[in-house]
Amino acid sequence: MTTVPSDAAGKATVEPSLHRVMGPWLLLLFIVGDILGTGIYALTGQVAKQVGGVVWLPFLVAFVVAVITAFSYLELVTKYPKAAGAALYTHKAFGIHFVTFIVAFAVMCSGITSASTASRAFSVNLSSAFGLGYESGGTGIILLGLAFMAIVAAVNFRGVGESVKANVVLTCVELTGLLIVIFIGLWAIGAGQGDVSRITQFHTPEGVSAVWPVIAATTLAFFAMVGFEDSVNMAEETQNPSKIFPKILLAGLLITGVIYVLVSISAVTLVEPAELGEGEAPLLKVVQAGAPNFPIGIFAFITMFAVANSALINMLMASRLVYGMSRERVLPSVLGKVHPTRRTPYIAIGFTTLLAFGLITFVGSVPQLGGTTALLLLCVFTVVNVAVLVLRKDKVDHQHFTAPTVLPVIGAIACGFLTGPWTGRNPEQYKIAGVLLAIGIVLWFVTVMINRATGQQPAEPRMEDIGGAGPVN
């Protein structure tokens, strides 16, 4: 049964809609800024530890898998340009509310987990920049992380226009940091420093094929490529999404893919792979090796703001996903409330921030959380690649992007393969993902009880084109 909210006088009321503030350039910066950040700044060394000098190869493989899956997302987001992304696509394709909820919860958790990891990295860099001396994982780092996440929540509440403007600044900062690494690497190579031959050297146990270490490293490097899927959850705040999404999303992926490969080559040329894999600041070592006179404190600040950008965008995604699912009554309706003046989903922002507080306080390292994030999203991507084929039978009355049929098939197989234990994935990642999904199952039953108590049922997704649903800033 579908109900319409009403005021005290019994008159029908309509929740205020979201502002359509994102044009092509803001969307491109949003996508680039979301993909860049914590992954490349923190995980380059961990990837090098697994494969040696060919550290660029797992990033390249992850890029190819991401692009294939992006084609499926492009077909779906231009066909159904609505907030909530993968979860609504899943429901439209399969019509099982429980599966819809689990997909939504997995995507939401991946965003919050990624943001919490970025918050921890921000705190470590802040401590280093100011010489606070806080130990990694200590109380001081946790408190800094909680304070930082509270600031992110405040920016998110202020409005997506303000959040995306902050994203423009932070994206420029993190791009600057990576360009510094690339230019230092190219300059050093031109001056005869470093060892370019390392970029073709595999580091594998004797008698073991190089294929499996590359696959294992790809499961970790994939964390650096995720982020493009966040943009579909901003469809309701994008101007003319069916037209601009395809070229902007593919351009964003190409830009970040090229940057990742160049950064990886610069890093391994200047620093031995084994040394690169030690500690939590691999790119800082690259700068120190290639340009000893470069002000290291400046680069530490750049790294700090780069991971801050990741946290901001992931929390934007998570809150909009909760908002979208609530409006379909797959989550409690209170989570879909929009603030009457700020026009932001303030209850959803508070809910996702509380979950992030819990992760910051109790959960561990960047590789552990990054691998879990990639695991959850690879499972979701497998479902999305299948869903796009199922939904081919559903026709809409507007033009939209259509992916070549072979790509969703390859995407489903590749993403499903990368979730398996045969890839060498750390077993801890399965445990963390299992706990998160168990929490999701509990919340599902709570939602069912709330719906029964209020006499409501989960609504069927309203996937029609919602162009012009809200004013543009």
Q: Is 354 within the bounds of a domain?
A: yes
Q: Is 14 within the bounds of a domain?
A: no
> How many structural domains compose the chain?
1
Residue 276: name the closest of 26, 46, 30 by CA: 46
What are the phi and psi torsion angles at 193 (to 5°)? -85, 160
Count the alpha carbons within 13 Å of 420 in the hemisphere toward its beta carbon. Answer: 9
- Supply the DSSP symbol for 257: H
d(CA 211, CA 29): 34
Pair of tokens at residue 151: 């600031």
Pair of tokens at residue 164: 């995306």
Helix ranges, 159-240 (H): 160-190, 211-225
* pTM for this prediction: 0.80
> Token pair 């040329």 is at which residue?
269
CATH code where residue 353 lies: 1.20.1740.10
In terms of residue numbers, what domain contains 421? 24-454
Task: For 109-160, give the DSSP string.
Answer: HHHHHHHHHHHHHHHHHHHHHTT--PPTTSHHHHHHHHHHHHHHHHHHHH-H
Q: Is 176 within the bounds of a domain?
A: yes
Tens-binned pLDDT, residue by residue, of the chain (473 aa): 333 344 444 444 444 555 555 667 777 877 887 788 777 887 888 888 889 889 999 999 999 999 999 999 888 887 877 644 677 788 889 988 788 888 888 988 888 888 887 887 788 777 766 767 676 667 888 888 899 999 999 988 876 555 566 667 777 888 888 999 999 988 988 888 888 889 988 877 666 677 888 998 999 899 888 877 767 656 666 666 667 778 888 899 999 999 999 999 999 999 998 888 776 678 888 888 888 888 877 887 888 877 777 788 788 878 887 887 777 777 777 788 888 887 888 998 998 999 889 888 877 566 777 888 899 999 999 999 999 999 998 888 777 888 999 999 999 999 999 999 988 888 888 988 888 788 778 777 877 787 788 777 666 655 443 332 222 22
Q: Cβ atoms within 10 A of the Cβ of 441, count?
A: 13
